[in-house]
Amino acid sequence: MYQNILIEKLDHFGRGLAHINNKVIFIKNALPEEIVDIKIIKETKKYAEAQVLKYHQLSSKRIKSPCPYFNQCGGCALMYYNYDDTINFKSTKVKELIAKNSIPYEKNIPVIQNPEPLYYRNKLSLKIISGKIGFYEEKSHHLIPIKECLIADKTINEFIQNYQLLNIKNGDITIRTNKNHEILLVINTKEENYNIDIAQLKAKIKLIGIVYNDKTIYGNNFYYERIGGFLFKISYNSFFQVNPYITEELFKLIKENITEESTVLDLYSGVGSLSIIASTKAQNVYSVEIIKNAILNGLINAKLNKKTNINFMLGDVSNIVNNLILKFDTVIVDPPRKGLDNTTIDYLLKTKPEKIIYISCDVNTLMRDLKTLLKEYNLTDYKILDMFSYTYHLESFVILNHKKG
């Protein structure tokens, strides 16, 4: 045990950071300026992890977390802060990473705040183990049973209150919802025969579909969502941004940054939402996505929104870019967490589109990719979108302009 340890700052995962004998210690649930007694729970040559045994001095910024599972589930690492302090955490984190990676950028980094920082998520994945529903405790396979999740839409919480009607002992469940409070359930389990009380579920929630081990056993395997005046069909296995309030802000940023009559390439396009926004100004948009259902959704979404200038391509971005003949003024990239692969970066550096709009949900892979792209590009705008409020994650919206553009 170590006594009277002063927390110096927060690390990028929202843990308190302190030093003991020049070794860095990461301490969960400890805020800057707090003085705590700690117990080391993991130690390596370079760092240690610890838990608090006793608080001697609390930060004036600490609030009592509204979530009863805060210290166990680990999902919302910042729920001991007021919302404004979580925003400062995110802009400081990005500023520190920009400096650490020697990225030339002097401007302020604004954060577009979430108008609904609680109950915002339209999708939640949970475990059912021995008939109980919840999350795995961080870095373990120990279930934390939950009655509600404070960042999930209230409709999802209504389902959680009634999950027992599924009659499932063990499995994974993803709950998706929309602004109409409809629920689509996606269940994966080794239990082949199901005994779901669909009639009772329908009496409790607006159930629109159940996909059970990839088979639609009730209703539809898709749902619709309307954002910023646009309508989207979304299949059970298609990606859609998890925060509808911030997605609307993302749409505005896309629209502001597309030049009239330009030719746009939208890589990692999902159900075509950003392509549809871009198509309101561009002459032509070309969209690339690897999930077949998402491309099929995209084709329908273009029709639903009366867009005739979007071309959809199904496949792996790294294969497709090498076969593109057209030149693009603007390329939108919105990759999964692992960021861009070398082929895609080489394609961008070789074909030199005037503008790259890089949307990223992983700030570390974004920094890695920026360092390479900055050989040919200037970073001209960096905004944070608070897509994942109260977690340490953030969405970055970055504009790169070609140096000779």
Ligand X SMILES: C[S@@+](CC[C@H](N)C(=O)[O-])C[C@H]1O[C@@H](n2cnc3c(N)ncnc32)[C@H](O)[C@@H]1O
Site of interaction with ligand X (CB under 6 A)? 239-241, 268-270, 273-274, 288-291, 294, 316-317, 334-336, 361
Task: Quote the CA–CA distance of 19 and 7 in Å, as a whole number.
Answer: 8
Task: Quote the CA–CA distance of 251 and 231 in Å, as a whole number.
Answer: 13
Instruction: For CA atoms 44, 49, 55, 59, give the dihedral sign.
Output: positive
Closest CB to ligand X among residues 165, 332:
332
Residue 398's closest CA among 116, 103, 120? 103
How does strand 377-385 pair with strand 111-112?
parallel
**Using CB atoms, what's the residue nearest to ligand X?**
270
How does strand 23-27 pair with strand 47-57?
parallel
Closest CB to ligand X among residues 59, 273:
273
Active site annotation includes 73:
no
Task: Quote the CA–CA distance of 405 and 394 in Å, as a whole number.
Answer: 29
347 within 8 A of 341, measured Cβ to Cβ: no
Name residues whose C-beta falls within 8 Å of residue 209's C-beta, 6 or more positions apart in sequence. 184, 185, 216, 218, 219, 220, 221, 222, 223, 236
Closest CB to ligand X among residues 219, 339:
339
Beta carbon of residue 201, minimum distance to ligand X (angstroms, whole number): 28
Q: Which two tokens stand for residue 70?
A: 């805060």
Closest CB to ligand X among residues 70, 392:
392
Q: Which two tokens stand for residue 377?
A: 């590009």
Closest CB to ligand X among residues 7, 253:
253
Active-site option among 67, 73, 76, 361: 361
Beta carbon of residue 248, minimum distance to ligand X (angstroms, whole number): 12
Name residues whose C-beta falls within 8 Å of residue 28's C-beta, 6 or more positions apart in sequence. 15, 16, 49, 51, 52, 71
Task: Quote the CA–CA distance of 234 and 104 in Å, as a whole number.
Answer: 39
Helix, strand, coil share of the chain (percent; to 5): 25, 35, 40
Task: Quote the CA–CA distance of 291 and 348 in Å, as a whole number.
Answer: 22
Angle, to 10 degrees, between the axis of helix 342-351 and the axis of helix 363-373?
Answer: 40
Closest CB to ligand X among residues 196, 250:
250
Beta carbon of residue 316, minimum distance to ligand X (angstroms, whole number): 4
Closest CB to ligand X among residues 34, 249:
249
Beta carbon of residue 341, minimum distance to ligand X (angstroms, whole number): 7
Task: Quote the CA–CA distance of 151 and 75 in Å, as a whole number.
Answer: 10
**Active-site positions?**
361
